[in-house]
Every structure is written in structure tokens, then in C-alpha cells.
Chains A and B, each alone.
Chain A
């Protein structure tokens, strides 16, 4: 007698989910976990990506300088002086995060959520970067870095009271030297009280100090041959909110070993429970604006 080959209900559900995903032109290029938390294609506005504003009390002068330089991200068609609008992968628009034209200047866009279950979270992005095309040169060492981070904190009844901030950046160049490698961070700056009421502190976790090389993290990305040609790259970062550990990282065709990776970890703060924030940032190496363009972002979870 032949054994049954009928799929289980769970197998059928997964097969149906994958079939629907792969037939959807907007989502087919992503590999989301079963539940999509948000899908941002930037043809429908900023999709909740706002600027990372620093903490302050009484006066904006109390904001740390790292945050004071941040400004609002914009919707861009990647319009270039010589070739016109480049456009996104699937629409005219991409999110653009632009620095000021000063060496070391940074800008950060943030999306602020909370989580309802401590399980796997997946962050997928199609991105590219270029410096402002102020020179008729390749300018491949003018962008210092682009990267992303999560800002997470446990629930108010969890016993492992930590704020956890995984950071990864692609260090493209530093002081004019072309480097091209992924780095992570374990340390932030000391917490600094803001104002006089003992209610607010601040720290600049994107300070230039403390970046560590991701083992095996050298990667040459597609940087095209003039400052106004760009190609979109894929990035995926998996993090488990249950263990507060990163589980996988991929950029284009490369998957990286995260056994040596860790996050910035600081004691839980008194008002950030279940925080689930996502940031993307750009940093310039030259006296020239650096642009991080994000075509689309898909954040998903298994819960």
C-alpha cells in the first residue's frame, strides 16, 4: 500500500504564502518572514521614515552635536545634472538621506515601532549611495559610510532589562582611502544628562569611535563608473528579539558570519519598553554631500 504524500496544512499554508509572495511584483524581490510589519516603496510618501532628532530640554542648544546636524529625509527621483532622473527599481521615487557637505557629517532616518512578540525580525532593503556630483570625477572615496541600526529594548516585565542596538555600516572610505568593508559597534558614548530635571539623557551611538571590523566583512559593491550612475544593492539583516542576537546578514551575493558580531548593550531606560526602531544613515568623508538612497524596505517577523 502506497504511503500518503498529501502535504500537511502547515506545508500548504507555507506553499500558498510563497506562491502569493512570488507572484506579487512589489514583494517578489524580498524574502519576508511570515508576517510583514511594514513595506515601504516610497511611491506612497515617506512611509514613516522621519529624521532622528536628538534629545533636548528647555533649549535646542542642549542637543548633542551629532544629532543637531540631522535633517529630514526626502523623496527623490535621483535626478542628475547630466542624465536626468534615474528613478527607483519599481517606481520613480526612493528615500534620500543626505549629509551636509562637511567631512564626517552624518544624517539618519528612523522608523519607530514597538514589538508585540519577542521572535525573529527580518530587515530587507534595496539601497545605493553616491556623493553629490560636484566634480567630473569618479569620487569613489567621498562617501565614508552608509549603514543601518536597530534600537531595541525588552518589555517592561522581562527580566533581562537591556537596551540593545545592533549597528552595521559599510565603511566605503576613510580619510580618502578606499576601504570597502562592513563594521559593527559594541560601544556608545557615555550617557550625558540633558537639562536640569534629571528626566532626559543622551548618547551618540554613531560617534566615529568604536567601530570594529566584521570578520570576513570585506566586500566590493557595484559602484558605477561616474558619480551619476547607480545600481541598487540588496541587504538583509536577521535579528532574534527573544535572544537579542543577530542571526544572519546578507548583502547582494554574500552572506556573512555573525559569530563575532555583537550589539551595543546598555541598561534598559525607564520609558522605552518594547521599542523596535530602525535607522538608516549616511556619512561623508569629503567636503561634499553624501547620499544614501533607499528604493524600498520590507520589515517582517515570525510571530
Chain B
């Protein structure tokens, strides 16, 4: 039996600014995860900072420790690889006032 893997679309064409976060995703069956975040439109202002977050219940979140810069140009791509996360995953991001990015956030999971 081949190991399960899935590509999940977590946020598609969402405009992120200020304090933003993706919807929670359950991935407890997977041993490894990769987030890809693509800027679908030219980002405005300075690129924000993104943080992988984990949760005991999908409602309360703590930083997992992986951070990355948001893309600085249209079609710019950022990635985060995570190997130890329990069940719940999301990406949170922080932008300066007036800055924003329209994102395609995908999650690639493998058992």
C-alpha cells in the first residue's frame, strides 16, 4: 500500500493584512507537512512575517517555531516544512499598517 498524501487548499485568493491567520486544518494522520504560500497579486507595503502555529483543539494556538517572510512580489513563493505537529496546523501572519498580500496557501501532507 502506498502511503497516503494529500494536497489541501487552505486559503485561496484571500487578502491578508494586519493580524491574519488561515483556517485550522487537521492533519494528525500525516508525519510530515509542507505549507506553500504564493502571492496571487503584487503585495502592498513591506512583506509581512508568517508563523506556523499548532493547537491542542483547533481553537487555541501557539507558535510551532517555524517562521518565514511573506512573498515580496507577485507569484513569489514561500515554504515551511514541519515534521512534528500533533493534529492541528495553521499559518498566522503579521503585517505593518497598510501592508497586505493576497494569498494561495496550500498544505501538502504525507503519512
Contacts and interface: CB of A to CB of B under 8 A. Distances in A.
Nearest to A60: B13
B69 to A, nearest CB: 23
B30 to A, nearest CB: 9
A228 to B, nearest CB: 10
Interface of A: 44-46, 51, 53, 60-61, 63, 68, 71-72, 74-77, 79-81, 93, 96, 98, 100, 132-134, 289
B56 interface: yes
A63 B59 contact: no
Of the candidates B6, B10, B24, the one having the most CB atoms from chain A within 10 angstroms of its own CB is B6
B19 to A, nearest CB: 15
Nearest to A68: B13
A198 to B, nearest CB: 23
B27 A74 contact: yes
A75 B13 contact: no
Contacts of A100: 23
Contact of B26 (A61, A76, A133, A289): A76
Interface in B1-52: 4, 6, 8-13, 23-29, 40
Contact of A45 (B6, B13, B27): B6
B87 interface: yes
Contacts of A96: 26
Nearest to A99: B23
Contacts of A46: 6
Contacts of B57: 79-81, 133
B76 interface: no
Contacts of A53: 9, 12
A71 B56 contact: no
29 contacts: A44-B4, A45-B4, A53-B9, A61-B13, A68-B13, A71-B8, A71-B9, A71-B12, A72-B9, A72-B25, A74-B25, A74-B26, A74-B27, A77-B28, A77-B87, A79-B26, A79-B28, A79-B57, A79-B58, A80-B57, A81-B56, A81-B59, A96-B26, A98-B23, A98-B24, A132-B58, A132-B59, A133-B57, A134-B59
Contacts of A71: 8-12, 23
Q: Is the interface of B mostly helix, strand, loop or mixed?
A: loop
Contacts of B9: 51, 53, 71-72
B87 A79 contact: yes
A77 B57 CA distance: 12
B106 to A, nearest CB: 9
A93 B12 contact: no
A63 B12 CA distance: 11
Of the candidates A44, A45, A71, A96, the one having the most CB atoms from chain B within 10 angstroms of its own CB is A71
Interface in B40-81: 40, 56-59
B59 A72 contact: no
Contacts of A93: 29
A48 B100 CA distance: 34
A57 to B, nearest CB: 14
Contacts of B23: 71, 98, 100, 289
Contacts of A76: 26
Contacts of B58: 79, 132
Given A71-B11, A132-B59, A134-B59, A60 B40 contact: yes
Contact of A72 (B4, B8, B13, B28): B8
A134 B57 CA distance: 10
Contacts of A51: 9
Nearest to B3: A45
A72 B10 contact: yes
Contacts of A132: 58-59
A74 B13 contact: no
A50 to B, nearest CB: 9
A132 B23 CA distance: 12
Nearest to B12: A60
